[in-house]
């Protein structure tokens, strides 16, 4: 039973929370946005672009034009990716990158339902209509995970697992080399960096001949997810597909 004192304390806490986090959109700082809206207003959400066909059947790169048949882009024909497909929910533009950045580096967990929601909304139907055995998040290097205290790919993968019923498995794919921040590197440099960064653990026995959904927050050049898919496939897994929240285009 609530006493007058606890009611007073709750009111006080709510007032403090509202003071620290006013109900204002954290992207534009102008419109109202409630905690239930993850502090992102309707106008800012409307600026977020979902990825729609036509896109490369392998890497999911959207292209303009009236293409109705399945096709692979020139880059994919060169790359010989070990994943069967890579798909993303939204375009990695300014607003989305800002949300992801603050989520990852600023622990802005209130954005998580929104970001995971994009992924679930786009991936659920496709994954349910196919036959996948495990969801595997792209791992962080242990020292980086200790410093950040969480792996965003793993947290997003949990949402996808809950929405699809496909079980999540962690600690089978490991990051064995730290890779520096990749944003400023060329494609060739990124590929060289990540090629040897991943390895399988004893637990990866579970993945033998299994079809795997690899999950990450962003697909940029495909170097990271491509390297993970190669390691999984050479360890004896079945097909690997990739799902990310956002994709650079
Ligand atoms: Zn806004
Ligand atoms: Zn492609």
* Nearest CA-CA partner of 116 in 53, 173, 191, 168: 168
The pTM assigned to this predicted structure is 0.88
How far apart are alpha carbons 176 and 189 in whole angstroms? 18
Q: From ligand 2's centre to the CA of 7, what distance in Å?
A: 57
Q: From ligand 2's centre to the CA of 209, what distance in Å?
A: 25
Residue 122 has pLDDT above 90, yes or no: yes
198 half-sphere exposure, CB direction, 13 A CA radius? 25
Residue 203 has pLDDT above 80, yes or no: yes
The span from the first CA to the last CA of the chain, in angstroms, equals 55
Ligand nearest to the CA of 75: 2
Instruction: State phi, psi for 214 to the nearest 5 degrees.
Output: -95, 130
Q: From ligand 1's centre to the CA of 103, what distance in Å?
A: 16
Q: From ligand 2's centre to the CA of 151, what distance in Å?
A: 27
How far apart are alpha carbons 214 and 139 in whole angstroms? 10
Predicted confidence (pLDDT) per residue in 46-56, tens digit: 999 999 999 99
pLDDT at 1: 46
How far apart are alpha carbons 91 and 248 in whole angstroms? 6
Q: From ligand 1's centre to the CA of 45, what distance in Å?
A: 7
Q: From ligand 2's centre to the CA of 71, what distance in Å?
A: 8
């Amino acid at each position: 039973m609530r006493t007058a004192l606890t009611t007073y304390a709750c009111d006080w806490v709510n007032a403090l929370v509202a003071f620290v986090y006013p109900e204002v959109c954290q992207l534009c700082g102008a419109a109202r946005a409630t905690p239930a809206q993850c502090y992102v207003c309707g106008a800012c959400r409307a600026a977020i672009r979902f990825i729609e066909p036509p896109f490369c059947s392998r890497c999911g790169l959207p292209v303009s034009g009236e293409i109705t048949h399945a096709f692979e882009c020139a880059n994919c024909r060169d790359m010989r990716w070990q994943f069967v497909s890579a798909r993303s929910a939204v375009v990695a533009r300014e607003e989305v990158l800002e949300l992801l950045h603050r989520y990852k580096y600023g622990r802005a967990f209130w954005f998580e339902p929104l970001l995971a929601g994009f992924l679930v909304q786009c991936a659920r139907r496709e994954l349910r209509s196919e036959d996948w055995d495990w969801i595997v998040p792209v791992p962080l290097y242990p020292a980086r995970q200790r410093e950040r205290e969480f792996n965003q790919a793993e947290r997003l993968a949990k949402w996808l697992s809950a929405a699809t019923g496909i079980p999540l498995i962690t600690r089978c794919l490991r990051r064995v080399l730290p890779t520096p921040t990749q944003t400023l590197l060329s494609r060739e440099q990124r590929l060289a960096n990540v090629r040897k960064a991943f390895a399988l653990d004893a637990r990866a026995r579970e993945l033998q001949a299994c079809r795997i959904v690899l999950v990450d927050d962003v697909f940029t050049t495909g170097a990271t997810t491509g390297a993970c898919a190669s390691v999984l496939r050479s360890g004896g897994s079945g097909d690997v597909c990739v799902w990310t929240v956002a994709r650079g285009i």
